[in-house]
A and B are shown apart, each in its own frame.
Chain A
Amino acid sequence: MRVAVALLPTLTAVRPLLPMAATLLSYEGGLRLQRYFRGNALANPVLIAVTTIVAALSWVDDPKAEYTAGVQSLALLLGPTTVALALPLYRSLPRIRVSLVAVFVSVAAGAVTAAASAVCIASLLGASDLILRSIATKSVTAAIAMAVAPQIGGDPALAAGLAVLTGIIGAVICGWVLDWTGVRDPRARGLATGVAAHGIGTARILAMDAEAGAFSGLAMGLAGLAAGIGLPLLYAWFAP
């Protein structure tokens, strides 16, 4: 007991470092679990790290402020890394160039399915108007969802939350669904994952297959573009 009291000032001093340590440790733990379970989809490092940290934060008074401040430097690296997705894209460009028709048609079909089916299902189950407008962007990367949501009457923070949730769910189920529907072509698997689960799905599939990752990054960008331009236009036409 006396030791714990003596340690208290030290604990206060290191407290700002804990979010970063917890994030790196839980993600590394997730990676090891993934390796241990031979790539089982449920052992997804993003899913494991997020759930661990959210559970740990339930002991904190203002979880969002304290955590966000502690991992700011890590969050800053997401931008340059997203830009770096141009690299696998560039390396696969010769293979992409000969399959442009397949890329554009399948991404368009997927982007429409993603927005329409989510809104229809949530609407049938009685979700509120604000949720419906925020779930329309669920399959595009959170930054695009935040930019588009206000333009179609949704809430940017809620849209970002739903987008991240969709990314995590998509990264977990993509392997099963694509195996089950018989999609074996790595390029098609990449396109499907990029449209359905944007960056989080791309991170997952890039770790397994560089070419599938390149197609996933491409699909994520195109689907984001389609949602960013298409949804506000649709809203302008059909707005009540």
Chain B
Amino acid sequence: MLWSFCVLLGCQIAGAILREMLGLPIPGTVIGLGLLLALLCTFGQRDKPDLLPAGDALLPYLGLFFVPPGVAAVLQLRHISHAYLPVAAGILVSSVLTLAVTGLTAQALLAWQERRAAAGARVVTNNAATGNLS
């Protein structure tokens, strides 16, 4: 448990150092996420249930950890109370549009890719429709 927590912290620290050294506009945690993914791809066993116990223990509380920055953000927004309407409308309408555009594009493309994969596989085997190709 503690070891896996150290792995998470190590990736975060390595990400922060890389960010400083390369001057990237991405935060260290996101680089750390990429590093951990690379580590898992190299050394991980996908079927092992206790691959990274600290990660599985922390992830259900992701929402809780957003409460402190959330409170700080809402307190910060008091400074722009004069622009309440454009900001609220911008965020709300844009969020609806973004959800719809991304979701519909993804759903259509996923269905298209699966149809194509199934059509390609049918030539080789009749088992294509089950999707157990890999």
Contact = CB atoms under 8 A, between A and B. Distances in A.
Task: Tell which of B8, B62, B93 has the most Cβ of chain A within 10 Å.
Answer: B62
B62 A199 contact: yes
A10 to B, nearest CB: 25
A100 to B, nearest CB: 9
Task: Tell which of A49, A84, A183 has the most Cβ of chain B within 10 Å.
Answer: A84
B92 interface: yes
A178 B91 CA distance: 17
Contacts of A188: 102-104, 106-107, 110
B83 A131 contact: yes
Interface in B79-98: 79-80, 83, 85-87, 89-98
A160 B76 contact: yes
Interface residues of A, number: 116
B85 to A, nearest CB: 6
A46 B66 CA distance: 7
Contacts of A232: 25
Q: How large is the interface on B (under 10, 10 to 19, 20 to 34, 35 or more residues)?
A: 35 or more
A221 B30 contact: yes
Interface of A: 23-24, 26-27, 45-46, 49-51, 53-54, 57, 63-64, 67-68, 71, 74-75, 77-91, 93-94, 98-99, 101-103, 105-107, 109-110, 113-114, 117-119, 121-128, 131, 135, 138-139, 141-144, 147-148, 151, 157-158, 160-170, 173-174, 177-178, 181-185, 187-189, 191-193, 195-197, 199-200, 202-204, 206-207, 217, 219, 221, 224-225, 228-229, 232
Interface of B: 5, 8-9, 11-12, 15, 24-30, 32-34, 36-37, 40-41, 44, 46, 51-52, 54-56, 58-77, 79-80, 83, 85-87, 89-107, 109-113, 117, 134
